[in-house]
Amino acid sequence: MVEIKGVFKSFEGKSVLSGVDLQVQRGETMVVIGRSGCGKTVLLKLIIGLLKPDHGSILIDGIDIVRVKYKKLLELRKRMAMLFQGAALFDSLTVEENVGLALRRHSGLPEEEIKDRIRQCLAMVELEGTGHLMPAELSGGMKKRVAIARAIAMGPGIVLYDEPTTGLDPITAQNIVSLIADLQNRISATSIVVTHDLSVAYQIGQRIAMLHDGRIRFVGSPEQIKTSEDEIIKHFVSGGSI
């Protein structure tokens, strides 16, 4: 379970998050929506401990990652994974090495089993036989899928997706959404998906949270957000200006 309590974050005096409270249940898929630049990616980076909040606490299965030491934070991250907006594949490593990096470092499995696991992960994202390719040889959609394979390689309990469909054509974006939904059924991880694309939110979100002016403005099911009477939410849902 992920609990975010009273989180504030600012950069060089500019407030980005000003008192975010959010709970994500174990195995749930929570989609966080909001306008570009409202702090969605910052929220994900706070959850995985890449950034520290100015105030507040973030509990991962009851452990406050804001206050743990670096070694403990690394231990906690072994249970988590993040899909970055630009895929963030290591460009000096092959696809196979990208997917296997954490496995080789943390799993202690024999090399044969690691290779099997990498093959399985690449098969899950329909990229069999691409292990020898370098990231520069992949299309945008393939990069995202390799990044997903890398994210699920360690069998994480919590997966964070940062704008999984941004920059992709509609067909590839739909493939990625279907893939994420399919993976959720297979690995049953707690997922937090950040997007500004409402169609993505409706398709994969069990609950949707809307981030606005540094706070969570709304949390509810896809049906509830569609029928919300809140003017700001109505404008966002209908695609108008806020």
Partner 1 sequence: MGHSPAQLAHGKLIRFFDQLGKFGILLSRVFRAFSDFPTYRHLIVGQMKTIGMESLPVVVLTSIFVGMVASIQTAYQLRGRVPLYFTGSAVGKMIFLEVGPVTTAFVLSGRVGASIAAQLGTMKITEQIDALESMALNAMAYLVVPRVVAGMVMLPVLIIFTDAIGIAGSWLTAVLSAGISSHDFFKGLQMFFLPMDVIGGLIKAFFFGLTVTLVPSFYGFNTTGGAEGVGRATTNAVVVCCLSILVLDYIIAAIIL
Is the Cα torsion angle 205, 208, 209, 212 positive or negative in sign? positive
What are residue 32's DSSP bridge partners? Answer: 194, 209
Q: Identify which of residues 92 and 185 has a Cβ nearer to partner 1 in the complex.
A: 92
Using the rule CB under 8 A, is 236 a contact of partner 1?
Answer: no
Using the rule CB under 8 A, is 102 a contact of partner 1?
Answer: yes
- Measure the CA–CA gap between 24 and 105, rounded to whole angstroms: 29
Using the rule CB under 8 A, is 91 a contact of partner 1?
Answer: yes
Q: Which of 7, 20, 53, 77 is the binder for partner 1 (CB under 8 A)?
A: 77
Give least dist CB 190 to partner 1, A.
Answer: 15
Task: Rounding to the nearest 10 degrees, give the CA dihedral for residues 62, 45, 82, 176.
Answer: 120
Type of residue numbered 162:
D
Using the rule CB under 8 A, is 117 a contact of partner 1?
Answer: no
Point out which span in 16-24, 68-76, 188-196, 197-205 binds partner 1 (CB under 8 A).
68-76
DSSP per-residue codes, 162-209: ESTTTTS-HHHHHHHHHHHHHHHHHH--EEEEEES-HHHHHHH-SEEE
- Measure the CA–CA gap between 239 and 242, rounded to whole angstroms: 9
Q: Which of 16, 17, 82, 225 is the binder for partner 1 (CB under 8 A)?
A: 82
Give least dist CB 25 to partner 1, A.
Answer: 22
Does residue 76 come out as left (phi exceeding 0), alpha (psi in the -120 to 50 range) or beta? alpha
Give least dist CB 222 to partner 1, A.
Answer: 28
Footprint on residues 137-176 left by partner 1 (CB under 8 A): 150, 154
Q: Which of 1, 88, 187, 219 is the binder for partner 1 (CB under 8 A)?
A: 88
Binding footprint of partner 1 on the chain (CB under 8 A):
45, 48-50, 70, 74-75, 77-78, 80-82, 84-86, 88-91, 101-102, 105-106, 150, 154
